[in-house]
Amino acid sequence: MSGKNSIMQNIVRFLKSRNGKILIGTFIFWLILYPLNKFNVMNNYWMHVVNVSLIFVILTVSLNLINGFTGQFSIGHMGFAAVGAYTAATLTTLVWKVPSHGIVAYTAFIGALLLGGIAAAFIGFLIGLPTLRLRGDYLAIVTLAFGEIIRVIINSIDFVGGPRGIPGIPRFSTFTVVVVVTVLSVIIMKNVIYSSIGRALLSIREDEVASELVGVDTTRYKVLGFTVGAFFAGIGGGLLAHLVQYINPLQFGFMATIYVLIMVYIGGVGSISGSIVAAIGLTFLSEGLRFGLDKLNSVTPFPVGPEWRMVIYSVLLVATMLYKTNGLMGDREFEVLIPEEEDENAKHSA
């Protein structure tokens, strides 16, 4: 009797905690959108946009881990996503040839997704070791080059279709799968950031010399941050491949990285919350402008096409840099993303 009570108490206590609130929030989010799509109130197109925006949350937070938290300016992020996407898609579509339904197929997909992440992390580790001696612009150039090298190598591998890419990937990234993987990824990265390891990464961003001289092995932690970031880029890439059902090397080009980079900077360097808001907001803005600009076209005397999206994007970025240097969220976080023990206010009320 009392045993049963204490289990209930533990569940209630967990649900009242911030992690519990994340869980409840996610569930409500799913509970609203899933039936909306099921009963066709919200069509598949907008559901697709929701899925893409969530995948971009993973990509943006993981790039923020490298650029914002560790302070290493990397612009080869989509290269890692490409490794993840190609590894996962090659396994599911070309090697295992899994069917598109069933528990076995899904297990295989989860395995492929993880292996994709691990492959990306491994490549990140290999690239990180020699390049992270460089700083600032030099590091940016080298990561850019490596990102392109990865793309060009994939382009020339016949087995994965070369420039034609891989068509006919089964659609495993359903709304439910994307939500679960995104929330898990964000929580894992949040847990890394709010630990001694995360503080070591932050200290490298703040002052590398001082960090080394209070005992942080800066080389090791720079590579670690880079590897973890690459891992989640790989997971994001794998999800994207199984959502769009077709990948080719061009999708993972430099412009795609810039797209994620803009999300990081508009959202705020060193803020998980900012990355989430910016990834979702900008994906929707981008899709909304597709329609908005078309409508505008019929009103204005000169032609305004959807290609003006990129102009608006650039203006947004420039405006952010001029008027809100730290991005939307700066170094701030939503309360639920900060562990209770790290929050002064929560500590006093407890």
Partner 1 sequence: MPNTALKVDHVTHYFGGLRAVHNFHMELPQGVIWGLIGPNGAGKTTIFNLITGVYTPTEGKIYFRHNKHGNEVTEDITRYKPHTIVSKGIARTFQNLRVFNNLTVLDNIRIAGHFRIQYGLYDSVVRNRKFKEEEIKLREEAMKLLEMFNLHSRAYTLAKGLPYGELRRLEIARALATHPLLLLLDEPAAGMNPKETEELMDMIRWIKKEFNLTIFLIEHHMKFVMGICERIKVMDFGETIAEGTPEEVSNNPKVIEAYLGRKK
- Within 10 A of 102 (CB to CB), how many other CB atoms are there? 10
Interaction between residue 192 and partner 1 (CB under 8 A): yes
Q: Could you give the angle at the alpha carbon of 73 between the alpha carbons of 134 and 258, nearest 5°?
A: 135
Tokens of 68: 């914002």
Amino acid 237 reads G
Tokens of 116: 């994709």
Task: Map residues 149-188 to x or -, x wherever contact with partner 1 holds by CB under 8 A.
Answer: ---------------------------------------x
In degrees and rounded to multiples of 5, residue 127 shows phi and psi of -75, -40
Tokens of 142: 């080298």
Q: Name the residue nearer to partner 1 (CB basis): 174 or 219.
A: 219
Query: Please, which of residues 220-239 interact with partner 1 by CB under 8 A?
Result: 224, 228
The gap between the terminal CA atoms of the chain, to the nearest Å, is 28
> Binder to partner 1 among 50, 75, 202, 272 (CB under 8 A)?
202
Token pair 């959807």 in the structure block, residue: 306
Binding part of the chain for partner 1, among 43-51, 107-115, 139-147, 215-223 by CB under 8 A, reads 215-223
Interaction between residue 207 and partner 1 (CB under 8 A): yes
Interaction between residue 9 and partner 1 (CB under 8 A): no
Q: Name the residue nearer to partner 1 (CB basis): 225 or 237.
A: 225
Interaction between residue 198 and partner 1 (CB under 8 A): yes
Interaction between residue 344 and partner 1 (CB under 8 A): yes
Interaction between residue 206 and partner 1 (CB under 8 A): yes
DSSP 3-state assignment of 247?
Answer: strand
Q: How far is the CB of 196 from partner 1 (least distance, A)?
A: 5
Tokens of 35: 């039936």
> Binder to partner 1 among 75, 177, 183, 200 (CB under 8 A)?
200
Q: How far is the CB of 198 from partner 1 (least distance, A)?
A: 8
Tokens of 139: 């590091």
If binding means CB under 8 A, how many residues of this protein chain bind partner 1? 29
Count of positions (residues) in the chain: 350
Q: Name the residue nearer to partner 1 (CB basis): 127 or 202.
A: 202
Binding part of the chain for partner 1, among 216-224, 254-262, 280-288, 291-299 by CB under 8 A, reads 216-224
> What is the 3 state secondary structure string of 85-96?
HHHHHHHHHHHC
What is the 8-class DSSP label of residue 338? S
In degrees and rounded to multiples of 5, residue 189 shows phi and psi of -65, -40
Q: How far is the CB of 29 from partner 1 (least distance, A)?
A: 23
Tokens of 131: 């390049």
DSSP 3-state assignment of 166?
Answer: strand
Q: Which residues bind partner 1 (CB under 8 A)?
A: 188, 191-192, 195-200, 202-203, 206-207, 209-218, 224, 228, 270, 331, 341, 344
